[in-house]
A and B are shown apart, each in its own frame.
Chain A
Amino acid sequence: MNEFEWRRQLRELRAPVAPPRDLWTGIVAALEPAAPAARKSPRAGWLLAASFAGLSLLTVGLSLRQGQLLDHRQTTTTVANQTPWKPDDPRLAGAAIELDAARLELRQALEQAPNSPALQRLLSRTRQQQSRLRQLEQQAG
């Protein structure tokens, strides 16, 4: 095989790929919170998002460790329609909703402060927690 053929193989990787699930629901959910009020007070939004994400991560960590059933009825009611992925296990479902809401808040906050390392770290940790939840769901069958 020569270099030309090898490069051709690489170019063939360029193909449209359908997402494994419909992302539109999550996009619509993320469009909702883009309220003008949040833009007027970027510092307040920043702090609120950071606090909320930190609290969510703490809650998820404690819940997963202790295997306790999370009771997030109010939050579930508010955010359920915005969550694209919901595990069947109620313990994981509550955590998934919290994490998704935290991620959305953080993305908004990053709009205001895109270079904030703290926010980027929090977003990264939130995504890692979401990946961990998916793994837990797979393990649970």
Chain B
Amino acid sequence: MPPPPVAWSDADDARAAADGDRQAFQRLYRQHVDRVYGAVYRLAGYDHARAEDLTQDAFVRAWQKLADFRHESSFGTWMYRLAVNVALMDIRSRGAHPVGFVDDEHLPDPGEVPFCAAEREELERAVAKLPPRARAVLVLHDVEGWRHEEIASELDMAVGTSKAQLHRARALLRRMLQPGESS
């Protein structure tokens, strides 16, 4: 009778990887890359090239910081937060050169814009066009489910600023999704 397949847990792999075991780290990568990539991809405005770069950065940093991982949360949660932080650092570093500019002059009050049903791809395209910080706040709050306090802390802004950015992002998004809006 053949031996049963060996099952590795994330915690075991994380400990082994912290000791330099690259195979263990590769298993962790395979296990978590889709979740990490998904979050980074959304924060990067659905730009695959940048998301690939940031995801690689995140895993390299994880490898370098594994010795500091205290196992207080699951590896997946730790890795996800680290990757989001890498993506947010990238947004902060591009502060003077926003990607995906949207003219928000004369922005209507969100209450004046009706909610419109949108196909998933249409919604993703609209999110991608948001200014980077507004997009980050919207993605973290409305998509990833973060609280304003967490967002403000990660983006180094006041909680009120995070709420204002979310308000602005939602208004922009709803305006872009209006029938006849092609921008």
Contact = CB atoms under 8 A, between A and B. Distances in A.
Contact of A14 (B30, B64, B115, B143): B143
A26 interface: yes
Contacts of A73: none
A58 interface: no
Interface stretch (B6-14, B44-52, B101-109, B155-163): B44-52
B97 interface: yes
A78 interface: no
B66 to A, nearest CB: 11
B71 interface: no
Contacts, number: 100
B33 interface: yes
B56 A17 contact: no
Contact of A23 (B59, B118, B138): B59
Given A5-B115, A27-B56, A124-B97, A13 B34 contact: no
B56 A16 contact: no
B41 A127 contact: no
Contacts of B50: 127
B145 interface: yes
Given A31-B63, A127-B53, A18 B123 contact: no
B42 interface: yes
Interface string A126-141: 0100110010000000
B38 A12 contact: no
Contacts of A19: 33-34, 37, 48, 51-52, 55
Contact of A20 (B48, B143, B174): B48
Nearest to B141: A10
B29 A9 contact: no
Q: How many A residues touch the partner, as a band?
A: 35 or more
A19 B22 CA distance: 20
A10 B26 CA distance: 32
Given A3-B115, A28-B22, A124-B97, A14 B37 contact: no
A95 B115 CA distance: 47
Contact of B52 (A23, A120, A123): A23
A76 B145 CA distance: 45
A1 interface: yes
Interface in A111-127: 111, 114, 120, 123-124, 127
B93 A124 contact: yes
Contacts of A9: 117-118, 120, 123
A128 B44 CA distance: 14
Contacts of A1: 114-117
A111 B57 CA distance: 11
B60 A17 contact: no
Interface of B: 22, 26, 29-30, 33-35, 37-38, 41-42, 48-53, 55-57, 59-60, 63-64, 89, 93-94, 97, 114-118, 120, 123-124, 127, 138-139, 142-145, 174
